[in-house]
Amino acid sequence: MPRFHGQSNHAPVDIVNQLQKQYVDYLSSLFHEGVLDDQFTQLQKLQDESNPDFTVEVATLFFVDSDKLINNMAAALERSPVDFKQVDADVHQLKGSSSSIGAMRVKNLCITFRSFCETQNYEGCLICLQQVKNECAVLKDKLQNLFRMEQQIVGAGGSVPLMD
Amino acid sequence: MDVGSAGSSSHDDPVLPLLPCRSSRGRRRRTLVRKFLLSDLSHFSPFPQMSSAAESQFHVLAVDDSLIDRKLIERLLKISSYQVTTVDSGSKALEFLGSRVNDDRSSSDSLPSVSPSDHQGVEVNLIITDYCMPGMTGYDLLKKIKESSSLRDIPVVIMSSENVPSRITRCLEEGAEEFILKPVRLADVNKLRPHMMRTKKLKGQEQEQELQEESVTHCEVRSQPPRQHELEIEQSQQDQSQQIQQHQQQKSGNNNKRKALDVEEGLSPDRTRSRYNGVATF
């Protein structure tokens, strides 16, 4: 920022505005694509000066939890005979936590996954497992982008816009 | 109703000398006094800090086996200015609530034994629990709470990710105040306050009712143990007070609720005197 000679850490207003606009566009696309739902906005509303990293913390917990659950499911599906009840219990848990953070696509995949567990459909379970794995990876990537953009805005002296 | 035999030392149950059967006018006056005190604790309580803390901050116990959901509910509750304790199972919840649940003798207690100073358990104004938990489900926990005389007045709210009408009905029938669908939102948490406030009022009313009932019971059968405030009698009636104190030591289980009475009613000697002046007949 060659024009910026001020004493504060604020970037010129137009830079902050630009970053904010990019952020809003990106977040909107996540809602539009169904990656996130309104619950994510609810999470963001719980963030404030006293808990500035709440959303990041919850998201981090989610990824640790989902990794563990996905590994459990994979292991259970590799055993013989397959314990579908155990797989279902893990999917149920993943469904709950994805719902809690607003990860809509992951949640919907879990719903399908559970029906395959109930009918003890091995192939269906394997396909769902792969899809859930992929979707969690995509979500992680996108949320990391989002949080990075938030950091850039804050670093430039601006505030993160809240979707409504 | 006759209380003439009050004060006879040969009785196992010393008669409650300070509560003859009252006229309804006396009852109304007491209700007024009690309502005034409950709303103005800071002026009358001998423990101003404790009562204002108890009055202004509700304490919620949140039970959920999911770490993410615990984090979420904790944040929702804290933002709503509640004090929060989270546990990850029904059994830990019962542990936190105190050993009263497993105490069979507690069923003879008619008041919830809650007091900020009670080291046996902590005062909890609301329990919010997930339904689906391994081991003890939220429903099992609800049942245990409602079966406990010391815990049953604590409002319980159930959360569930699944909208199963029969499940909802079952929980509400068992005594749950609300059934909230997950994910829980701020709007849901806002619905909780009335339940907590009602319980505080209810406790006040219960104490009032107990006093009334006791005055009637006392006239017929002197089986109820005397209450704490009866200890606070004038110097001139010390004989009777000693009898009562001895009796109370036998029934130590009631001490907790009397502490609660003290804290909540904020009894001062002046008040006691004005209540019982000229009433005792020995």
How far apart CA B87 and CA B65 sit, in angstroms, is: 8
Domain span including residue A57: 13-38+53-149
Interface residue B71 vs chain A (CB under 8 A):
yes
| Confidence (pTM) | 0.66
Asked if residue A93 belongs to a domain, the reply is yes
Residue B265's pLDDT band, with cuts at 50, 70 and 90, is very low
pLDDT in tens, B174-215: 999 999 999 999 999 999 999 888 776 666 666 666 666 655
The verdict on a CB contact (< 8 Å) between A100 and B183 is: yes
**C-alpha distances in angstroms, B189 versus A75, B62, B65, B145?**
38, 12, 19, 21
The verdict on a CB contact (< 8 Å) between A97 and B69 is: yes
- Residues B244-282 as b/e (b if ≥16 CB within 10 A, e otherwise) read beebbeeeebbebbbbbbbbbbbbeeebbeebbeeebee
Residue A21 is predicted with a pLDDT of 96
Q: How far is A153 from chain B (nearest CA, A)?
A: 24
In B, minimum Cα distance to A42 occurs at: B185
Residue A43's pLDDT band, with cuts at 50, 70 and 90, is very high
Q: How far is B176 from chain A (nearest CA, A)?
A: 22
Residue B82 is predicted with a pLDDT of 95
Asked if residue A163 belongs to a domain, the reply is no
Asked if residue A8 belongs to a domain, the reply is no
Is the ipTM of this structure higher than 0.85?
A: yes
Asked if residue A26 belongs to a domain, the reply is yes
**Does the structure show a pLDDT above 60 at B147?**
yes
Asked if residue A65 belongs to a domain, the reply is yes
Find the CB nearest A54 among B66, B75, B132: B75
Residue B43 is predicted with a pLDDT of 52
The verdict on a CB contact (< 8 Å) between A96 and B67 is: no
Residue B273 is predicted with a pLDDT of 43
Asked if residue A48 belongs to a domain, the reply is no
Asked if residue A134 belongs to a domain, the reply is yes
Find the CB nearest B67 among A45, A46, A61: A61
pLDDT in tens, B219-236: 444 444 544 444 444 444
Asked if residue A7 belongs to a domain, the reply is no
Map chain A to HEC letters. CCCCCCCCCCCCHHHHHHHHHHHHHHHHHHHHCCCECHHHHHHHHCCECCECCHHHHHHHHHHHHHHHHHHHHHHHHHCCCCCHHHHHHHHHHHHHHHHHHCEHHHHHHHHHHHHHHHCCCHHHHHHHHHHHHHHHHHHHHHHHHHHHHHHHHHHCCCCCCCCC
Please measure the distance between the N-terminal and C-terminal CA atoms of chain B and give it in whole angstroms. Answer: 16
Residue A12 is predicted with a pLDDT of 84
Q: Which residue has the higher pLDDT, B52 or A130?
A: A130
The verdict on a CB contact (< 8 Å) between B72 and A93 is: no
Q: What is the CATH number of the domain that holds A128?
A: 1.20.120.160
Count of structural domains within chain A: 1
Interface residue B202 vs chain A (CB under 8 A):
no
